[in-house]
């Protein structure tokens, strides 16, 4: 190949085909896709129906500007989503990916407050979080390595802590950590001045950055109460956790979280189309009013994207993949525990549904992370790839700089046999880099 693709890495294999949980390269090697790419592919690779739906919509009408037309696929998709989203009376704004969805939701929050005559603009995010790579998304996130080159452009957002059971900062661990975190958030809101705070953004279950961190059950109810009391909108980032990934349609459901705004992407079109969704509650939408969201993208409200999203929704439903995610997820958790639970460098194995993570440490007793300079995650990923399994990196877990996380999020169609093989291959890769 000519090498004119902007550097994504040299000597990459050439992917040619995918089926279910497997990808085949040009040399005929097969990889078990343990991460659906970047936890993207929910329905599996090579589903012909999705291609057919995309082709049919493209042949009918690929594009008509969102300010001039709506479309049948778009309307049907939004209606169907409203039936499964945890957002009351949901209004769906389709975009091209997660970062765009985050930017859109942040603007919706600002527009909502402006429409109510309040100049609220500060968004609170959480430590160790990731919400995308555009400037607004980078600002509300807090991955130091990703932010460092762009710091002069950032600095509008504030950050509070993330519940992270394995390294919990709460002095009342484990009895009342959720409430403690909510109190920390409230202190920050009060310090900033509630009249200046527009929104709080967080993943209901932390994904790539902190690797499948499930908060305590009391966390979201307490956070939602604090935000409501101070007029701060809750934005649930379900880019990674949406569309069945954690064993429910959306991870918010596990905690009874009813967000004002929600963002999704990845699993929405399962990688078959670049699709993201910014969702507002009916109340937020009606307060903003149609005219006052100063925003738009050429490719928002895309007719083919909506057709792809609908076809994926049909596939998830017909094949009962949300339930499958819960069942296979429990199996994967147990299989990882059986292979790696006693490994001297495995500190924690955690997750929900088919979003799982293994945290690697120097020492299990002290929970000391490896310095990033040892590149443990990268070495395990390379060993895994050589052995035929794809794992997603969630580096920088402990304090944003050090730490090693292996994140697993295979397509929800993974079979029972593949779950066992995935755990075997992950254990092999870990053992090769970190002998027990």
By CB under 6 A, name the binding residues for ligand PMP: 38, 97-99, 102, 130-132, 203, 207-208, 237, 239-240, 265
SS3 87: coil
Terminal-residue alpha carbon distance, the chain: 40
Select 247 or 418, whichever has its Cβ closest to ligand PMP: 247
Select 34 or 345, whichever has its Cβ closest to ligand PMP: 34
Compute the least distance from the CB of residue 346 to ligand PMP, in Å. Answer: 23
Compute the least distance from the CB of residue 5 to ligand PMP, in Å. Answer: 18
34, 422 contact by CB (below 8 A):
yes
Select 136 or 403, whichever has its Cβ closest to ligand PMP: 136
Compute the least distance from the CB of residue 171 to ligand PMP, in Å. Answer: 28
Q: What are phi and psi of 161, to 5 degrees?
A: -75, 165
Compute the least distance from the CB of residue 355 to ligand PMP, in Å. Answer: 10
Select 316 or 355, whichever has its Cβ closest to ligand PMP: 355
Residue 273: which of 51, 81, 72 has the closest Cα?
51
Strand duo 30-33 + 389-390: pairing:
parallel
Q: Which long-range contacts (CB under 8 A, 24 or more apart) does 342-349 make?
A: 343/427, 343/430, 343/431, 343/434, 343/436, 344/434, 344/436, 345/430, 345/434, 345/436, 346/430, 347/166, 348/166
Select 208 or 346, whichever has its Cβ closest to ligand PMP: 208
Complete DSSP assignment for 16-30: EEEEBTEEEETTS-E
Compute the least distance from the CB of residue 278 to ligand PMP, in Å. Answer: 11
Count CB-CB contacts under 10 A for residue 386: 12
Compute the least distance from the CB of residue 75 to ligand PMP, in Å. Answer: 24
271, 250 contact by CB (below 8 A):
no
Helical (H) or strand (E) element with 339: helix 321-340
Q: Which residue is nearest to ligand PMP (CB)?
A: 98
Select 53 or 105, whichever has its Cβ closest to ligand PMP: 105
**Rounded CA gap, 61 and 304, in Å?**
8
Compute the least distance from the CB of residue 340 to ligand PMP, in Å. Answer: 24
**Rounded CA gap, 74 and 246, in Å?**
26
Select 397 or 434, whichever has its Cβ closest to ligand PMP: 397
Compute the least distance from the CB of residue 209 to ligand PMP, in Å. Answer: 8
Residue 103: which of 276, 248, 299, 358 has the closest Cα?
276
Select 98 or 353, whichever has its Cβ closest to ligand PMP: 98
SS3 44: coil
Select 131 or 372, whichever has its Cβ closest to ligand PMP: 131
Compute the least distance from the CB of residue 133 to ligand PMP, in Å. Answer: 6
Alpha-helical segments (H) within 116-176: 135-140, 144-147
Helical (H) or strand (E) element with 108: helix 98-115
> What is the token pair recorded at 313?
């929704």
Compute the least distance from the CB of residue 207 to ligand PMP, in Å. Answer: 5
Helical (H) or strand (E) element with 209: none
Select 99 or 418, whichever has its Cβ closest to ligand PMP: 99
């Amino acid at each position: 190949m000519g090498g004119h693709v902007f550097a994504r890495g040299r000597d990459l294999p050439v992917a040619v085909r995918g089926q279910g949980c497997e990808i085949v390269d040009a040399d005929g090697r097969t990889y078990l896709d343990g991460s659906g790419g970047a936890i993207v592919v929910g329905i599996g690779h090579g589903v012909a129906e999705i291609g057919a739906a995309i082709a049919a919509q493209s042949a009918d009408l690929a594009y008509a500007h969102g300010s001039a037309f709506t479309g049948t696929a778009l309307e049907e998709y939004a209606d169907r989503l409203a039936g499964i989203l945890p957002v009351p009376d949901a209004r769906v704004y389709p975009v091209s990916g997660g970062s765009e969805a985050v930017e859109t939701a942040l603007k919706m929050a600002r527009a909502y407050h402006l429409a109510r005559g309040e100049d609220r603009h500060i968004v609170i995010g959480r430590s160790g979080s990731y919400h995308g790579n555009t400037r607004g998304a980078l600002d509300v996130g807090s991955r130091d390595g990703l932010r460092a080159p762009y710091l002069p452009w950032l600095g509008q957002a504030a950050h509070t802590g993330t519940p992270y059971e394995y390294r919990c900062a709460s002095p009342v661990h484990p009895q009342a950590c959720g409430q403690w975190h909510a109190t920390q958030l409230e202190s920050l809101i009060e310090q900033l001045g509630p009249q200046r705070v527009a929104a709080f953004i967080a993943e209901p279950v932390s994904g790539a950055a902190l690797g499948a961190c499930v908060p305590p059950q009391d966390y979201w109810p307490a956070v939602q109460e604090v935000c409501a009391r101070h007029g701060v909108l809750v934005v649930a980032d379900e880019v990674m956790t949406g569309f069945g990934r954690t064993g429910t349609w959306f991870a918010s459901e596990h905690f009874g979280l009813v967000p004002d705004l929600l963002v999704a992407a990845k699993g929405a079109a399962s990688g078959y189309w670049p699709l993201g969704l910014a969702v507002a509650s009916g109340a937020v939408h009606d307060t903003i009013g149609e005219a006052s969201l100063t925003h738009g993208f050429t490719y928002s409200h895309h007719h083919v994207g909506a057709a792809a999203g609908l076809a994926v929704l049909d596939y998830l439903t017909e094949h009962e993949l949300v339930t499958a995610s819960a069942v296979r997820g429990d199996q994967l958790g147990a299989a990882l525990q059986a292979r790696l639970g006693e490994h001297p460098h495995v500190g924690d194995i955690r997750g929900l549904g088919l979003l799982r993570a293994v945290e690697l440490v120097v020492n299990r007793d002290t929970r000391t992370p490896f310095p990033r300079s040892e590149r443990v995650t990268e070495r395990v990923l390379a060993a895994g790839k050589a052995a035929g399994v794809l794992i997603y990196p969630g580096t920088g877990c402990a304090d944003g700089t050090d730490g090693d996380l292996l994140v697993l999020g295979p397509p929800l169609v993974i079979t029972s046999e593949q779950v066992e093989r995935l755990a075997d291959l992950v254990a092999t890769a870990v053992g090769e880099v970190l002998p027990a």
